[in-house]
Chains A and B, each alone.
Chain A
Amino acid sequence: MTVVYAMSDLLVRFLIGGVIVSLFAILGDVLRPKSFAGLFGAAPSLALATMGLTIHHNGSAFAALEARSMILGAAAFFAYAVATSWVLRRYRPAAISATLMLMPIWFAVSFGLWAFIAWRS
Protein backbone atom coordinates (compact mmCIF):
# COMPACT_ATOMS: atom_id res chain seq x y z
CA MET A 1 0.00 0.00 0.00
CA THR A 2 2.82 2.36 0.96
CA VAL A 3 4.76 1.44 -2.19
CA VAL A 4 1.67 2.05 -4.38
CA TYR A 5 1.11 5.40 -2.64
CA ALA A 6 4.79 6.36 -3.13
CA MET A 7 4.67 5.40 -6.81
CA SER A 8 1.50 7.38 -7.46
CA ASP A 9 3.00 10.37 -5.60
CA LEU A 10 6.12 10.16 -7.79
CA LEU A 11 4.00 9.87 -10.94
CA VAL A 12 1.95 12.94 -9.96
CA ARG A 13 5.18 14.87 -9.23
CA PHE A 14 6.62 13.74 -12.59
CA LEU A 15 3.54 14.87 -14.54
CA ILE A 16 3.07 18.20 -12.73
CA GLY A 17 6.83 18.92 -12.91
CA GLY A 18 6.98 18.08 -16.61
CA VAL A 19 4.04 20.35 -17.42
CA ILE A 20 5.19 23.36 -15.33
CA VAL A 21 8.83 23.15 -16.46
CA SER A 22 7.68 22.85 -20.09
CA LEU A 23 5.37 25.88 -19.73
CA PHE A 24 8.20 28.07 -18.42
CA ALA A 25 10.49 26.73 -21.18
CA ILE A 26 7.88 27.65 -23.82
CA LEU A 27 7.66 31.16 -22.33
CA GLY A 28 11.44 31.39 -22.71
CA ASP A 29 11.15 30.23 -26.34
CA VAL A 30 8.68 32.89 -27.43
CA LEU A 31 10.14 35.91 -25.64
CA ARG A 32 12.75 38.26 -27.07
CA PRO A 33 15.43 39.48 -26.45
CA LYS A 34 17.25 36.34 -25.40
CA SER A 35 18.65 37.84 -22.20
CA PHE A 36 15.04 38.42 -21.05
CA ALA A 37 13.96 34.93 -22.13
CA GLY A 38 16.89 33.59 -20.11
CA LEU A 39 15.20 34.77 -16.89
CA PHE A 40 12.72 31.91 -17.35
CA GLY A 41 15.58 29.40 -17.26
CA ALA A 42 15.70 30.18 -13.53
CA ALA A 43 11.96 30.34 -12.93
CA PRO A 44 10.72 28.63 -9.75
CA SER A 45 9.24 25.81 -11.84
CA LEU A 46 10.40 22.85 -9.71
CA ALA A 47 9.29 24.59 -6.51
CA LEU A 48 5.87 25.49 -7.96
CA ALA A 49 5.44 21.92 -9.15
CA THR A 50 6.30 20.34 -5.84
CA MET A 51 5.37 22.82 -3.06
CA GLY A 52 1.62 22.16 -3.13
CA LEU A 53 2.16 18.40 -2.77
CA THR A 54 4.81 18.87 -0.07
CA ILE A 55 2.53 21.11 2.00
CA HIS A 56 -0.36 18.65 1.53
CA HIS A 57 1.68 15.61 2.64
CA ASN A 58 4.24 17.03 5.10
CA GLY A 59 2.88 20.40 6.26
CA SER A 60 4.02 24.02 5.96
CA ALA A 61 6.92 23.75 8.42
CA PHE A 62 8.55 21.00 6.29
CA ALA A 63 8.02 23.10 3.13
CA ALA A 64 9.52 26.17 4.84
CA LEU A 65 12.66 24.17 5.68
CA GLU A 66 12.91 23.09 2.05
CA ALA A 67 12.54 26.74 0.98
CA ARG A 68 15.39 27.79 3.32
CA SER A 69 17.69 25.30 1.58
CA MET A 70 16.37 26.40 -1.78
CA ILE A 71 18.02 29.81 -1.19
CA LEU A 72 21.39 27.99 -1.16
CA GLY A 73 20.44 26.00 -4.26
CA ALA A 74 19.52 29.25 -6.04
CA ALA A 75 22.88 30.82 -5.04
CA ALA A 76 24.60 27.76 -6.53
CA PHE A 77 22.49 28.09 -9.70
CA PHE A 78 23.61 31.74 -9.90
CA ALA A 79 27.29 30.75 -9.73
CA TYR A 80 26.72 28.00 -12.33
CA ALA A 81 24.83 30.31 -14.72
CA VAL A 82 27.45 33.10 -14.44
CA ALA A 83 30.27 30.59 -15.08
CA THR A 84 28.42 29.07 -18.05
CA SER A 85 27.74 32.47 -19.59
CA TRP A 86 31.38 33.52 -19.17
CA VAL A 87 32.85 30.28 -20.56
CA LEU A 88 30.51 30.35 -23.58
CA ARG A 89 31.43 33.99 -24.31
CA ARG A 90 35.17 33.61 -23.63
CA TYR A 91 36.00 30.16 -25.09
CA ARG A 92 32.92 29.49 -27.26
CA PRO A 93 32.57 25.74 -26.71
CA ALA A 94 29.39 23.90 -27.71
CA ALA A 95 26.54 24.80 -25.33
CA ILE A 96 25.95 21.17 -24.36
CA SER A 97 29.63 20.72 -23.36
CA ALA A 98 29.74 23.94 -21.34
CA THR A 99 26.46 23.34 -19.51
CA LEU A 100 27.28 19.72 -18.62
CA MET A 101 30.99 20.19 -17.81
CA LEU A 102 30.21 23.08 -15.46
CA MET A 103 27.34 21.28 -13.67
CA PRO A 104 29.67 20.24 -10.78
CA ILE A 105 29.77 23.95 -9.86
CA TRP A 106 26.11 23.70 -8.81
CA PHE A 107 26.80 20.64 -6.63
CA ALA A 108 29.99 22.11 -5.12
CA VAL A 109 28.45 25.50 -4.27
CA SER A 110 25.10 24.19 -2.98
CA PHE A 111 26.58 21.42 -0.80
CA GLY A 112 29.53 23.65 0.18
CA LEU A 113 27.16 26.37 1.44
CA TRP A 114 24.99 23.76 3.16
CA ALA A 115 28.04 22.23 4.91
CA PHE A 116 29.35 25.67 5.88
CA ILE A 117 26.02 26.68 7.45
CA ALA A 118 25.71 23.32 9.22
CA TRP A 119 29.26 23.73 10.58
CA ARG A 120 28.56 27.28 11.81
CA SER A 121 25.34 26.37 13.63
Chain B
Amino acid sequence: MTMVEINLSSLKKTKPHEYAIRFVFGGLCTALAGLIAKQFGPVVGGLFLAFPAIFPASGTLIESHEKKRKAEIGSNGTVRGRMAASVDAAGAALGCIGLMGFAAVLWRKLPDHNAYIVIAIATILWAILAFALWELRKRRLFRGSRRGRRSEVA
Protein backbone atom coordinates (compact mmCIF):
# COMPACT_ATOMS: atom_id res chain seq x y z
CA MET B 1 0.00 0.00 0.00
CA THR B 2 1.46 3.35 -1.04
CA MET B 3 1.53 5.98 1.68
CA VAL B 4 -0.52 9.10 1.12
CA GLU B 5 0.71 12.12 3.05
CA ILE B 6 -0.90 15.39 4.07
CA ASN B 7 1.42 18.38 3.79
CA LEU B 8 -0.31 21.43 5.28
CA SER B 9 2.73 23.64 4.71
CA SER B 10 1.91 23.69 0.99
CA LEU B 11 -1.13 25.84 1.83
CA LYS B 12 1.21 28.69 2.77
CA LYS B 13 2.89 28.53 -0.65
CA THR B 14 -0.40 29.29 -2.40
CA LYS B 15 -0.90 33.05 -2.73
CA PRO B 16 -4.29 34.71 -2.04
CA HIS B 17 -4.76 35.57 -5.73
CA GLU B 18 -4.21 31.90 -6.65
CA TYR B 19 -7.03 30.89 -4.28
CA ALA B 20 -9.16 33.68 -5.75
CA ILE B 21 -8.55 32.52 -9.35
CA ARG B 22 -9.72 29.00 -8.53
CA PHE B 23 -12.76 30.30 -6.63
CA VAL B 24 -13.78 32.55 -9.55
CA PHE B 25 -13.18 29.85 -12.20
CA GLY B 26 -15.10 27.26 -10.15
CA GLY B 27 -17.96 29.67 -9.53
CA LEU B 28 -18.14 30.82 -13.15
CA CYS B 29 -18.14 27.26 -14.52
CA THR B 30 -20.89 26.19 -12.08
CA ALA B 31 -23.03 29.21 -12.99
CA LEU B 32 -22.33 28.62 -16.70
CA ALA B 33 -23.31 24.94 -16.44
CA GLY B 34 -26.64 26.04 -14.92
CA LEU B 35 -27.20 28.64 -17.66
CA ILE B 36 -26.40 26.15 -20.45
CA ALA B 37 -28.78 23.56 -18.94
CA LYS B 38 -31.51 26.23 -18.76
CA GLN B 39 -30.92 27.42 -22.33
CA PHE B 40 -30.18 24.16 -24.16
CA GLY B 41 -31.71 21.53 -21.85
CA PRO B 42 -30.25 18.92 -19.48
CA VAL B 43 -28.64 16.77 -22.20
CA VAL B 44 -26.22 19.51 -23.33
CA GLY B 45 -26.00 21.09 -19.86
CA GLY B 46 -24.96 17.78 -18.31
CA LEU B 47 -21.82 17.61 -20.45
CA PHE B 48 -20.53 20.70 -18.63
CA LEU B 49 -20.86 19.07 -15.20
CA ALA B 50 -17.61 17.29 -16.11
CA PHE B 51 -15.93 20.37 -17.59
CA PRO B 52 -12.25 20.64 -16.51
CA ALA B 53 -13.00 23.91 -14.73
CA ILE B 54 -9.79 24.58 -12.81
CA PHE B 55 -7.53 22.03 -14.50
CA PRO B 56 -5.39 24.66 -16.34
CA ALA B 57 -5.10 26.80 -13.19
CA SER B 58 -4.14 23.80 -11.02
CA GLY B 59 -1.54 22.51 -13.50
CA THR B 60 0.06 25.93 -13.75
CA LEU B 61 0.09 26.28 -9.96
CA ILE B 62 1.77 22.88 -9.51
CA GLU B 63 4.40 23.76 -12.12
CA SER B 64 5.21 27.12 -10.50
CA HIS B 65 5.38 25.67 -6.96
CA GLU B 66 7.73 22.91 -8.09
CA LYS B 67 9.92 25.46 -9.89
CA LYS B 68 10.09 27.64 -6.78
CA ARG B 69 10.92 24.64 -4.60
CA LYS B 70 13.88 23.79 -6.85
CA ALA B 71 14.96 27.45 -7.13
CA GLU B 72 15.23 27.59 -3.33
CA ILE B 73 17.98 24.96 -3.48
CA GLY B 74 19.65 26.62 -6.46
CA SER B 75 18.35 24.33 -9.21
CA ASN B 76 16.38 25.08 -12.34
CA GLY B 77 13.08 23.33 -11.76
CA THR B 78 11.45 24.08 -15.12
CA VAL B 79 11.47 20.49 -16.39
CA ARG B 80 10.68 19.12 -12.93
CA GLY B 81 7.69 21.48 -12.68
CA ARG B 82 6.31 20.33 -16.02
CA MET B 83 6.78 16.68 -15.06
CA ALA B 84 4.89 17.36 -11.82
CA ALA B 85 2.03 18.87 -13.87
CA SER B 86 2.12 15.76 -16.09
CA VAL B 87 1.87 13.43 -13.08
CA ASP B 88 -1.03 15.52 -11.74
CA ALA B 89 -2.83 15.23 -15.09
CA ALA B 90 -2.33 11.45 -15.09
CA GLY B 91 -3.95 11.35 -11.65
CA ALA B 92 -6.84 13.46 -12.94
CA ALA B 93 -7.37 10.92 -15.76
CA LEU B 94 -7.94 8.21 -13.14
CA GLY B 95 -10.30 10.54 -11.27
CA CYS B 96 -12.29 10.86 -14.52
CA ILE B 97 -13.09 7.14 -14.47
CA GLY B 98 -14.43 7.64 -10.95
CA LEU B 99 -16.39 10.61 -12.29
CA MET B 100 -18.06 8.35 -14.88
CA GLY B 101 -19.08 5.99 -12.04
CA PHE B 102 -20.41 8.96 -10.04
CA ALA B 103 -22.53 10.14 -12.98
CA ALA B 104 -23.79 6.62 -13.77
CA VAL B 105 -25.09 6.18 -10.20
CA LEU B 106 -26.92 9.54 -10.37
CA TRP B 107 -28.38 8.70 -13.78
CA ARG B 108 -29.73 5.29 -12.78
CA LYS B 109 -30.79 5.95 -9.17
CA LEU B 110 -31.90 9.59 -8.92
CA PRO B 111 -35.42 9.18 -10.35
CA ASP B 112 -36.50 6.52 -7.82
CA HIS B 113 -34.52 7.20 -4.64
CA ASN B 114 -33.80 9.93 -2.11
CA ALA B 115 -31.63 12.43 -3.98
CA TYR B 116 -29.28 13.27 -1.11
CA ILE B 117 -28.59 9.62 -0.28
CA VAL B 118 -27.92 8.90 -3.99
CA ILE B 119 -25.51 11.88 -4.21
CA ALA B 120 -23.71 10.69 -1.05
CA ILE B 121 -23.38 7.11 -2.39
CA ALA B 122 -22.19 8.39 -5.79
CA THR B 123 -19.53 10.56 -4.10
CA ILE B 124 -18.31 7.60 -2.04
CA LEU B 125 -18.18 5.49 -5.21
CA TRP B 126 -16.11 8.21 -6.94
CA ALA B 127 -13.60 8.13 -4.06
CA ILE B 128 -13.41 4.32 -3.98
CA LEU B 129 -13.00 4.01 -7.77
CA ALA B 130 -10.41 6.79 -8.01
CA PHE B 131 -8.34 5.48 -5.07
CA ALA B 132 -8.52 1.85 -6.24
CA LEU B 133 -7.44 2.76 -9.80
CA TRP B 134 -4.60 4.91 -8.47
CA GLU B 135 -3.39 2.08 -6.21
CA LEU B 136 -3.65 -0.41 -9.09
CA ARG B 137 -1.70 1.89 -11.40
CA LYS B 138 1.05 2.34 -8.82
CA ARG B 139 1.40 -1.41 -8.28
CA ARG B 140 1.39 -2.28 -11.97
CA LEU B 141 3.77 0.44 -13.16
CA PHE B 142 6.12 0.97 -10.28
CA ARG B 143 6.35 -2.46 -8.58
CA GLY B 144 10.02 -3.23 -8.12
CA SER B 145 11.06 -0.44 -10.46
CA ARG B 146 13.69 1.86 -9.03
CA ARG B 147 13.37 4.16 -12.07
CA GLY B 148 9.63 4.37 -11.52
CA ARG B 149 10.00 5.24 -7.84
CA ARG B 150 12.55 7.93 -8.69
CA SER B 151 10.35 9.44 -11.38
CA GLU B 152 7.38 9.82 -9.03
CA VAL B 153 7.17 13.44 -8.01
CA ALA B 154 6.77 13.72 -4.25
Least CB distance, B117 to chain A, in whole angstroms:
12
Chain B: CB-nearest residue to A62:
B42
Contact with A along B1-39 (1 / 0, CB 8 A): 010111110110010000100111111111101110110
Residue from A22, A35, A68, A98 within 8 A of B103 (CB atoms): A68
Contact indicator A73/B47 (Cβ below 8 Å): yes
Interface residues on A, range: 35 or more
Contact indicator B47/A111 (Cβ below 8 Å): yes
Residue from B58, B88, B97 within 8 A of A35 (CB atoms): B88
Contact indicator A66/B86 (Cβ below 8 Å): no
Contact indicator B92/A39 (Cβ below 8 Å): yes
- Indicate whether A96 sits within 8 Å of B60 (C-beta atoms), given known contacts A42-B99, A66-B45, A82-B93: yes
In whole angstroms, what is the CA distance A76 to B123 when docked?
20
**Does A1 belong to the interface (CB within 8 Å)?**
no
Chain A: CB-nearest residue to B23:
A18
Chain A: CB-nearest residue to B50:
A73
- Indicate whether A17 sits within 8 Å of B26 (C-beta atoms), given known contacts A74-B100, A78-B93, A81-B52: yes
Contact indicator B6/A31 (Cβ below 8 Å): yes
In whole angstroms, what is the CA distance A120 to B52 when docked?
27
Contact indicator B26/A20 (Cβ below 8 Å): yes
Main secondary structure of the interface of A (DSSP, over half): helix
A93 partner residues in chain B, CB cutoff 8 A = 82
Contact indicator B30/A22 (Cβ below 8 Å): no
Within B69-114, which residues are at the interface with A (CB < 8 Å)? 79, 81-100, 102-104, 106-108, 110-111
Contact indicator A69/B43 (Cβ below 8 Å): yes
Contact indicator A73/B91 (Cβ below 8 Å): no
Contact indicator A64/B110 (Cβ below 8 Å): yes
In whole angstroms, what is the CA distance A54 to B83 when docked?
39
Contact indicator B30/A69 (Cβ below 8 Å): no
**Does B136 belong to the interface (CB within 8 Å)?**
no
In whole angstroms, what is the CA distance A49 to B19 when docked?
18
Contact with B along A71-100 (1 / 0, CB 8 A): 111111110111011101100111110111
What are 18 inter-chain pairs, A to B, with CB distance below 8 A?
Answer: A14-B28, A18-B26, A30-B11, A31-B5, A33-B152, A34-B153, A34-B154, A35-B153, A36-B91, A38-B88, A39-B134, A44-B99, A45-B26, A47-B49, A69-B45, A81-B89, A82-B90, A114-B44
